[in-house]
Amino acid sequence: MNNISVVTEFLLLGFSGPWRFQFLQAGFLIVIYLAALMGNGLIITITSLDPRLHTPMYFFLKNLSLFDICLISAVVPKTVINSLTHRNSISFLSCVAQVFLVPFSAVAELFLLTAMSIDRYAAICHPLHYEVIMNRGMCVQVVALSWLSGGLLSVMHTAGTFSLSYCGLNKIRQFFCDIPQLLAIACSKNITSEIVLILMNAVLDFCCFTCIVISYIYIFSTVKKIPSTEGQSKAYSTCLPHLAVVTLFLSTAFIAYLKPILESTSFIDLILSSFYILLPPSLNPIIYSLRNKAMKAGLDKLLTRKLLTKENVLIFLQA
């Protein structure tokens, strides 16, 4: 680690500008962050406490919410603090943490989204064999594979990125420690291994996306055979937004990571990068919860339980 000890902090120049712009940006990010925490936190709480939701779909959804919280928490709090304090610095260790957590959350989430699409395919296209295909052991193995895959790829990315020398330039033209921007300012230009790793990751992501698309093609073809128009609209209203978010998530990540490293970062690039950081954590709870009757019932049950608890406490105090 002696070759990277020269640089002790980096400067994030992503959304720098007048203090009013910084203040509005911080307010916007705080709203998005709190909404994401509340939505995903409710999903984790409801799916954990309600026995009726102890099924493969909600087991995947609970872990997806954990990845969403990890992804947005790795970036947004530091960005908000920098905006409010008019500072752009990030310590070396914090930068290492972001380089590890962002790919970890994104890769694990993509693996889990792929598993969820296969789960919906099994439930809709093969309902009689669903319990056999998606048994508890299989679900636990899939989730464990998501955690392990994300962790392994993140360790490889982190090791490859910070094995390079950072001895002079420390200005990152991004609002978080992004791997392509770090490679651009590295003193040692032998970045072939990290480029190969990024390309391998892109191929893996494309394979997952292809699997998701194929699953939804079979799902849509089966949904068309449903005689009920209400049933078709319900399936489309859930599947199409999910597919749109996955597409936007992957396309913006591809642009950010496969863009030529030495090319300068524009404001549009910053917006595209923010999409795969902010959109999945904030939109996934809306897609999977607001139109889900089981989640609504679980939320009503949770709120009723809290109200009854408060009433019992008041009665006890009055007595």
Per-residue pLDDT tens for 14-25?
A: 777 777 878 888
* pLDDT at 68 (0 to 100): 93
* pLDDT at 292 (0 to 100): 67
Look at strands 171-172 and 9-12 and give their pairing: parallel
Mean pLDDT over 67-87 rounds to: 90
Residue of 50, 54, 15, 37 lying closest to 136 (CA atoms): 54
* pLDDT at 314 (0 to 100): 42
CB 40 within 8 A of CB 292: no
Question: Angle at which helices 267-285 and 19-49 pack, to 10 degrees?
Answer: 30
**Model pLDDT for residues 227-259, shown as the tens digit of each residue:** 767 667 766 766 777 787 788 778 877 776 766
Confidence of residue 302 (pLDDT cuts 50, 70, 90): low
Bigger pLDDT: 103 vs 164: 103
Task: Look at the chain and report how many structural domains it folds into.
Answer: 1
* pLDDT at 144 (0 to 100): 94
Confidence of residue 74 (pLDDT cuts 50, 70, 90): very high
Q: Domain range holding 276?
A: 2-318
**200-203 contact pairs (CB < 8 A, 24+):** 201/103, 201/107, 201/153, 201/157, 201/257, 202/254, 202/257, 202/258
Distant-in-sequence, close-in-space partners of 235: CB < 8 Å, separation ≥ 6:
124, 219, 223, 226
On the question of pLDDT at 2 being above 60, the answer is: no
* pLDDT at 294 (0 to 100): 67
Model pTM score: 0.84
Q: Residue 251 maps to which CATH number?
A: 1.20.1070.10
On the question of pLDDT at 317 being above 60, the answer is: no
Confidence of residue 67 (pLDDT cuts 50, 70, 90): very high
On the question of pLDDT at 290 being above 50, the answer is: yes
Average pLDDT, the chain: 81
* pLDDT at 315 (0 to 100): 45
Mean pLDDT over 36-44 rounds to: 91
On the question of pLDDT at 48 being above 80, the answer is: yes
CA 42, 48, 51, 55 dihedral sign is: positive
